[in-house]
Structure 1
């Protein structure tokens, strides 16, 4: 991370050695992206999860940069990227819209085809990009998430309590935003604390950067989750009915939460991704920070398929 200071105050942490860009992608929306690595290497785009920013990829990005061009954006609505107001049709933060952002970003940076890895919310965007833009996405990695349609199917009974935030942010505009804005650090910090098996993997300055970014993005983060209750479900259901699948090689890294909730993660994933490698990783949810060597190795192995 970059330890430089401005006016005596510590600078916000960044991915060391990467340059930062503001790139127009659609309808006046600009994404903030860190770009670095070997310009002659094949491009890899890394998409962050909740409640984080692209900074979560700092270790993996630095490792992949040795022989790849690495692009690490903040998703629309998160971090330093633009946060357009949620439209009444619910499409502003649909994963289809966010996936189109990512493809436009890569093209603006000179890459028609690229590998894509996503964690959590970013993995949902990556899946949608793979379904909607199969000619652009060469390889796809998903970290610790199920496709949206399957996620809602497996959450039932008392086990669904683990996903209380999904139900909260699915509510109509107004209530969830007000509730979360009343104590954003408490809300977002809850997940940073609960989901990390190794809290030391997210040092204090990085945790503070995540909380600041989330505090400034409550409406857009809620809109992202709300879209997964409506628009994203509709898009996934239409693809399932049409028999669409991910045509590229896919690697999935997950915790063993399928056992606790009683579902077959491999079977669910194989229905979407015939060319699948599925691995259970013995760490917390924040894999790229808690076990970056494992994640880097898995992405490198995927790129060889």
Structure 2
């Protein structure tokens, strides 16, 4: 995996971010979901690197990135804090403006980055998510049953940590592991069996149910919208397709929105890499045609 990619750790003002990068061309940052690492892009990143400079980074708290101490309001694990890390990473690599593609929790960091740092984000693609506030505001019994882990992981320290640590595989791989490459799965296991990572991932969800939700609500009240082109992709076999008009929800947050469902479950880049690339490549090409980096 990741042949011809360079692995590097970059120290930002708040964290140390682990990443791999390769390619030459307009910059594209790829951000992973829970409970994965940047390795989730192994079927997509090499192809994108034929056209773009591709950066695959571990979010703070995940993989081999650092796990900063938390605070009572969980701000160090807010998507705003994660976004600050990634903007600094890209600047260190020489990129003041770039496209970002985020899956799951990485998508939440990505859209927060687009809201907080509009001058840096040229295009945004979000995979299998809606804005955090939209999920919580629209929550009903179906959502609570399907997304019960949101409420479990957000419980106060250290109940979730202790229960997960008893059998991390049973919790993190409950959706099944058949869609994951064996080498990728080994990497995920190496990381999600680390107690520090388990705690950091719980902090991510505690932040989601608190400060992230409040930031989303504040932006909506202020009329702040995502300025760059937005692409929403989602799995047709997952609950998002059944519960929401995905593009219509994102149009409440951005003026330029396109997207479609892909015939797979939640893990688009690993379950359906060719279909995911077939959607991503024209979107990125069109976005970079509009701007001069």
Q: Give the counterpart of 2:54 among 43, 53, 70.
A: 70
2:114 matched to 1:133? no
Tell me the distance in 1 between the aligned counterparts of 2:240 and 2:201: 26
1:1-305 matches, within 5 Å, as 1=1, 15-27=2-14, 29-38=15-24, 41-191=25-175, 193=176, 199=178, 201-216=179-194, 217-256=197-236, 257-258=239-240, 260-261=242-243, 263-303=244-284, 304-305=286-287
Aligned to 1:11: none
The offset of 1:184, in angstroms, is 1.2
> Number of paired residues?
282
Tell me the distance in 1 between the aligned counterparts of 2:242 and 2:43: 30
Cα RMSD for the two superposed structures: 1.3
Tell me the distance in 1 between the aligned counterparts of 2:143 and 2:75: 29
TM value normalised by structure 1:
0.89
Aligned to 1:4: none
Deviations 1:168-188 (A, max 9, x none): 011111111111111112111
Of stretches 92-101 and 291-300 in structure 1, the one that deviates more from structure 2 is 291-300
Deviations 1:227-256 (A, max 9, x none): 000000010000000111111001000124
Q: SS of the counterpart of 2:75?
A: coil
CA contact (8 A) 1:189 1:211 kept: no
CA contact (8 A) 2:29 2:55 kept: yes
Aligned to 1:10: none
CA contact (8 A) 2:232 2:246 kept: no
Q: SS of the counterpart of 2:77?
A: coil
Gaps of 5+ in 2: 288-293
Aligned to 1:8: none
Q: SS of the counterpart of 2:226?
A: coil
The offset of 1:32, in angstroms, is 0.3
Tell me the distance in 2 between the aligned counterparts of 1:16 and 1:70: 13
Tell me the distance in 2 between the aligned counterparts of 1:158 and 1:290: 24
Tell me the distance in 1 between the aligned counterparts of 2:279 and 2:147: 27
**Segments ≥4 residues shifted beyond 4 Å:** none
Of stretches 220-229 and 248-257 in structure 1, the one that deviates more from structure 2 is 248-257
TM value normalised by structure 2:
0.93
